[in-house]
A and B are shown apart, each in its own frame.
Chain A
Amino acid sequence: AQSVTQLDSQVPVFEEAPVELRCNYSSSVSVYLFWYVQYPNQGLQLLLKYLSGSTLVESINGFEAEFNKSQTSFHLRKPSVHISDTAEYFCAVITYNNNDMRFGAGTRLTVKP
């Protein structure tokens, strides 16, 4: 079965600094990859996804992630973070042939002024 590892449980950064949240996955078959964001006391919101095509995907609020098949990674990046980006971020993977979405343990991003 597929699995996801998020290498950092907490990432503190200062406002306007760049950030990278790391995600590695394991699967014997082709996958779809997702990043979800969860603000306090709210459900998960889809941030961006890789299904096929260009390996670099972007969100509307400045985040981007690159699918690297050889390194089995899907790291999330933002060149300049805002206080409002403070949240929990989850990487998730689903394989082509089932609907069992597997999530990483999450990375808590804290943006400080």
Chain B
Amino acid sequence: DTGVSQNPRHKITKRGQNVTFRCDPISEHNRLYWYRQTLGQGPEFLTYFQNEAQLEKSRLLSDRFSAERPKGSFSTLEIQRTEQGDSAMYLCASSLFSSNEQFFGPGTRLTVL
């Protein structure tokens, strides 16, 4: 296993468009997390899944954001009607249920023009 992967690595879009990012966790990891990181800041928690169940959502996750993990494996994060303030690095991480150690992917850098 090569670790957590995220696609695409970079996404440039125009304001108002919808975008979708994908995260493939480490295969045996049943927990999956999404974070957002803006320039000069640490990652901010957005949401997390245990298997296919979305168990926690941050108040940062507005109605325009939706995340899914339909089969408890890969996850998608969709942003509808993007705004310039959505420009950030979106990070995915995964972990085992029994561990607090999260393994991070390389991130998807979103630029909204």
Asked whether, in the complex, the Cβ of A100 is within 8 Å of the Cβ of B56, the reply is yes
Asked whether, in the complex, the Cβ of A100 is within 8 Å of the Cβ of B45, the reply is yes
In the bound complex, CA of A55 to CA of B4 (Å): 30
Asked whether, in the complex, the Cβ of A104 is within 8 Å of the Cβ of B45, the reply is no
Contacts of B107 in A (CB 8 A): 43
Residues A43 and B106 in contact in the complex (CB < 8 Å), given A99-B56, A106-B41: yes
Residues A99 and B31 in contact in the complex (CB < 8 Å), given A104-B42, A105-B42, A106-B42: yes
Contacts of A99 in B (CB 8 A): 31, 33, 48, 55-56
Query: Is B26 interfacial (CB-CB < 8 Å)?
Result: no
In the bound complex, CA of A41 to CA of B42 (Å): 15
Residue of A nearest to B58 (CB): A100
In the bound complex, CA of A111 to CA of B3 (Å): 28
Q: How large is the interface on B (under 10, 10 to 19, 20 to 34, 35 or more residues)?
A: 20 to 34
Contact stretch, chosen from B11-19, B62-70, B77-85, B96-104 = B96-104
Asked whether, in the complex, the Cβ of B101 is within 8 Å of the Cβ of A103, the reply is no
Residues A44 and B104 in contact in the complex (CB < 8 Å), given A99-B48, A105-B41, A105-B42: yes
Query: Is A45 interfacial (CB-CB < 8 Å)?
Result: yes
Q: Name the one of B31, B40, B58, B105 contacting A43, with C-beta atoms under 8 angstroms.
A: B105
Asked whether, in the complex, the Cβ of B4 is within 8 Å of the Cβ of A51, the reply is no
In the bound complex, CA of A103 to CA of B48 (Å): 16
**B1-39 contacts to A (CB < 8 Å):** 4, 31, 33
In the bound complex, CA of A14 to CA of B107 (Å): 30
Query: Is A74 interfacial (CB-CB < 8 Å)?
Result: no
Contacts of A92 in B (CB 8 A): 42
Residues A101 and B45 in contact in the complex (CB < 8 Å), given A42-B106, A43-B91, A45-B104: yes
What are 8 A-B contacts defined by CB distance under 8 Å?
A9-B40, A43-B4, A43-B91, A46-B102, A99-B55, A100-B45, A101-B43, A104-B42
